[in-house]
């Protein structure tokens, strides 16, 4: 059904009901004013034009009201994080009670491990993917060390088989089956940052829980990309950032999920601050600590409003379009990208991302035999912004909110000539 022509790509853009969204973003341009072909929304999403106005409003209210803005601002700062909860919960398939926007991703992983990584002498090991994002690896290593365990012994890697790139769920099952009595926690990237593989998080939860292990999911590459159904999956906790597919700006605040089954457990070990203390008596200031229920019970500090304003600007766009429509376009757009790459007449290229659309988000990781970073440089010189991963992989993410079929077509045309 796909066709490898510019006409066809342009026709798809004409028929695309989400095509109007592109004009609602700032698309970076070269010095001559040509749009970049931006394929790194998996690293830093582009800026929605309305973000400026959302942040400006809070700056104006700060100027106008000072501290009174906590109550008097058009969007009062005191409950501001609550304005984000419903839309964020929808994006990750959670109940509002389970979700809060706070801190940044790695910080949140640590706070969650304070509660959900409770090792004993016998049951202390942590399972991660062998290709886990470095920050996640460092985080779990430091947790092992903090609890007095050896990081080599304590860390178990779920690896692809010899000669393969992707993970097989049955291999995780085997690891947990055999070593589950020693495993305290599975911390897995729901969508692997390197291969783009979308793992079956419900199965992962079942496998972990069968051996009484806690199960946490890093959704950095999932939130705003795929529709993960966190609540139904049964995982214990999850965390993600909002600057990748959620277009909320560099270093913006992250999201946290704690499953409802833990929402009312006030005995869970956790760190405390005034922001996870009962909001009814928070400003009484003389009360003993009384932890809030649900995801809010992991907050520590009063949060940065300017960052949350940017998140709100973005979530309002997701709310308006709905993940379902975005996901439908995404499957088509990435499918077209895959089709065009497979049309290139060369044996140098291999897509390592799963070919089944249900097992991936929008990203394709393209392995180029005998290539080095100069290929990435040449792509950049041609206005194509991609991400290079050593030794030979280009990661490209056509994002349904702002990438077009024409972007994808032009990208592959240029890649062809560079090969």
Ligand X SMILES: *Cc1c(COP(=O)(O)O)cnc(C)c1O
CB of residue 107 to ligand X, shortest distance in Å: 6
Residue 317 CB neighbours (<10 A): 19
Report the alpha-carbon distance of residue 252 to residue 187 in Å, rounded.
22
Helices (H), 230-304: 230-233
Please give the backbone phi and psi of residue 335, each rounded to the nearest 5 degrees, phi first.
-60, -40
CB of residue 327 to ligand X, shortest distance in Å: 19
Using the minimum distance from each CB to ligand X, give the nearer residue, 86 or 135: 135
Q: Are strands 214-218 and 25-26 parallel, antiparallel or unpaired?
A: unpaired
Residue 101 CB neighbours (<10 A): 28
Sign of the torsion angle spanned by Cα atoms 34, 35, 38, 41: positive
Helices (H), 251-369: 305-321, 323-343
CB of residue 115 to ligand X, shortest distance in Å: 18
Using the minimum distance from each CB to ligand X, give the nearer residue, 11 or 135: 135
CB of residue 310 to ligand X, shortest distance in Å: 15
Report the alpha-carbon distance of residue 145 to residue 165 in Å, rounded.
30
SS3 state at 100: strand
Using the minimum distance from each CB to ligand X, give the nearer residue, 189 or 398: 189
* Residue corresponding to tokens 């906790």: 237
CB of residue 66 to ligand X, shortest distance in Å: 31
CB of residue 371 to ligand X, shortest distance in Å: 23
DSSP code for 265: -
Using the minimum distance from each CB to ligand X, give the nearer residue, 12 or 143: 143
* Residue corresponding to tokens 């009814």: 280
Using the minimum distance from each CB to ligand X, give the nearer residue, 98 or 136: 136
Using the minimum distance from each CB to ligand X, give the nearer residue, 61 or 218: 218
Using the minimum distance from each CB to ligand X, give the nearer residue, 89 or 139: 139
Residues that bind ligand X (CB under 6 A): 104-106, 133, 135-136, 189, 193, 218, 220-221, 241
State the DSSP H helix or E strand holding residue 359, giving kind and residue range, or none if neither: none
CA dihedral 76, 80, 86, 87 (to 10 degrees): 100
CB of residue 293 to ligand X, shortest distance in Å: 26
């Amino acid at each position: 059904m796909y066709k490898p022509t510019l006409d066809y790509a342009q026709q798809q853009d004409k028929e695309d009901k989400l095509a109007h969204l592109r004009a609602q973003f700032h698309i970076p341009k070269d010095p001559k004013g040509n749009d970049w072909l931006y394929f790194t929304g998996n690293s830093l999403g582009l800026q929605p034009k309305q973000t400026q106005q959302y942040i400006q409003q809070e700056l104006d209210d700060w100027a106008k009201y000072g501290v009174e803005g906590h109550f008097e601002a058009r969007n009062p700062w005191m409950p501001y994080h609550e304005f984000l909860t419903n839309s964020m919960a929808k994006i990750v398939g959670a109940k509002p009670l389970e979700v809060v926007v706070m801190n940044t991703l790695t910080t949140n992983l640590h706070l969650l491990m304070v509660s959900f990584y409770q090792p004993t002498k016998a049951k202390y090991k942590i399972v991660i993917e062998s290709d886990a994002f470095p920050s996640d690896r460092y985080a779990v290593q430091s947790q092992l060390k903090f609890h007095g365990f050896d990081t080599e012994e304590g860390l178990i890697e779920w690896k692809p088989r010899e000669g393969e790139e992707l993970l097989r769920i049955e291999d995780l099952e085997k690891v947990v089956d055999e070593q589950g009595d020693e495993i305290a926690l599975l911390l897995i990237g729901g969508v692997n940052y390197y291969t783009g593989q979308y793992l079956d998080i419900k199965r992962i939860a079942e496998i972990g829980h069968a051996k009484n292990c806690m199960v946490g999911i890093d959704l950095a590459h999932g939130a705003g990309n795929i529709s993960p159904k966190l609540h139904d999956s049964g995982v214990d906790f999850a965390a993600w950032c909002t600057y990748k597919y959620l277009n909320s700006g560099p270093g913006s605040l992250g999201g946290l999920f704690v499953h409802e089954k833990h929402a009312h457990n006030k005995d869970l070990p956790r760190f405390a601050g005034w922001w996870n203390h009962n909001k009814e008596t928070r400003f009484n200031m003389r009360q003993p600590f009384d932890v809030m229920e649900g995801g809010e019970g992991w907050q520590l500090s009063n949060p940065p409003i300017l960052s949350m304003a940017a998140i709100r600007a973005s979530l309002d766009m997701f709310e308006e379009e709905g993940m379902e429509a975005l996901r439908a376009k995404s499957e088509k757009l990435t499918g077209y990208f895959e089709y065009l790459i497979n049309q290139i007449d060369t044996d140098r290229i291999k897509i390592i991302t799963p070919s089944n659309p249900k097992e991936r988000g929008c990203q394709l990781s393209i392995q180029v035999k005998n290539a080095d970073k100069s290929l990435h440089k040449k792509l950049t010189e041609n206005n194509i912004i991609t991400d290079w991963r050593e030794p030979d992989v280009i990661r490209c993410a056509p994002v349904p909110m702002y990438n077009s079929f024409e972007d994808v077509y032009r990208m592959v045309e240029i890649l062809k000539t560079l090969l």
